[in-house]
Amino acid sequence: MENFNDELEQIAVLYQTLDFSSGDDLLSEITNKNTCENILAIVRSVLDKDPTNSIALLWRIQINGTPIFDNTAAIQEDCDLILNTTTDITSKLKAYDWLVYLYSEKLSLTDLAIETLENKLIDIASIEDNRPLQDQVFGDTYHRLGHIYQTERNDDLAIDYYLKSYHHAPKIPARNYDGGLVLLEYGRFDEATKLLAEHFEVAEPLQSKAYAKEIETLFNDGELDKHWELFSLFYPTAFDIPIEFGYKNRQEFVAKYLPVIIEEAKRNPTNATAWRMLGNNYLYHDKNAKKAFENLSKYYELNNSVDDSSIERYFDVAEVLNIDLRNIDFPINANGADCYHVLT
């Protein structure tokens, strides 16, 4: 089989010169059109010798998807050609994604988008030598199905697909947000906690605002007595942006909810989450390292392991208090960045 590396590299270089940010600028439009036509000429020279070259076909799809051509029929034809002729899974996955984009975003053919995603799942299942890739694309594909069904107001199926997605790829922020919110709405709090906790770990406070507000409402309505992990997502969010939650300042917010957390720790001393929240509050609000260490210690005594980023705060306050934690006697399962900070 002939090698087309030079031609394909030339296409990539030309594609990087395209700039569609100038809107209706005539000179920019002419320049872009000439570049696209040059790319298509190179693609044709490759396909004349290898009519099913999937990389060349994907470049033609890319160009036909630009504002210069916007040729949905040509894109669909090339996607079908890739799916019917290539065994390269990466090319097939990209072709599926283009078809889903056409059907869902350009043509509003929801049934065909769903059918395409279901066919994509069949090909994903055939991936045998790359489990991380398989899990990620399973996660992405189930997420797309969940989003489509939620848009179609079929929340039962949406939830089913969101959870399947989470099972394969827990760290998809958009899926964790969408799925977590709909699970909250249906009172499936344990599952909502899993998804929203993952979202919370990577989100800015404003990005967590919608579900944090919903959690506050549920908590004040008495529906979250046994779900303090959810409450622990609300508290730091509102702590950082209290005005967004209707409080004049942080002091007013803390004055309302800190007594609630203290009372919970007294009433239910096995609630590890309450102790962790107290420790964080004393560290960040009161700047009281001693109280922060005492409450985080109770949290770890109950958990007997470290599974979140609070270990970094625990070691920081111990250092301030000149407490040696080198002989800590429970396993630490924090991520690499937190462990590096602790060790250095």
Could you read off the pLDDT of 108-157 as tens digits, one per residue? Answer: 999 999 999 999 999 999 998 899 999 999 999 999 999 999 999 999 99
pLDDT at 130: 94
pLDDT tens-digit profile of 258-291? 999 999 999 999 999 999 999 989 988 988 889 9
Rounded to the nearest 5 degrees, what angle is found at the Cα of 296, between the Cα atoms of 293 and 301?
A: 120
Q: Which fold has domain 1-110?
A: 1.25.40
In this chain, the answer to whether the domains covering 1-110 and 252-344 adopt an identical fold is: yes
Q: What is the mean pLDDT of residues 181-186?
A: 97
Q: Where are the domains of the chain?
A: 1-110, 252-344
85: pLDDT strictly greater than 90: yes
Tell me what percent of the residues of the chain surpass a pLDDT of 70. 92
pLDDT tens-digit profile of 295-305? 988 888 887 76
1: pLDDT strictly greater than 50: no
Q: Name the architecture of domain 252-344.
A: Alpha Horseshoe (1.25)
pLDDT tens-digit profile of 20-39? 887 778 888 899 999 999 99
Is the pTM of the predicted complex or chain greater than 0.85?
yes
| Higher-scoring residue by pLDDT: 94, 288 | 94
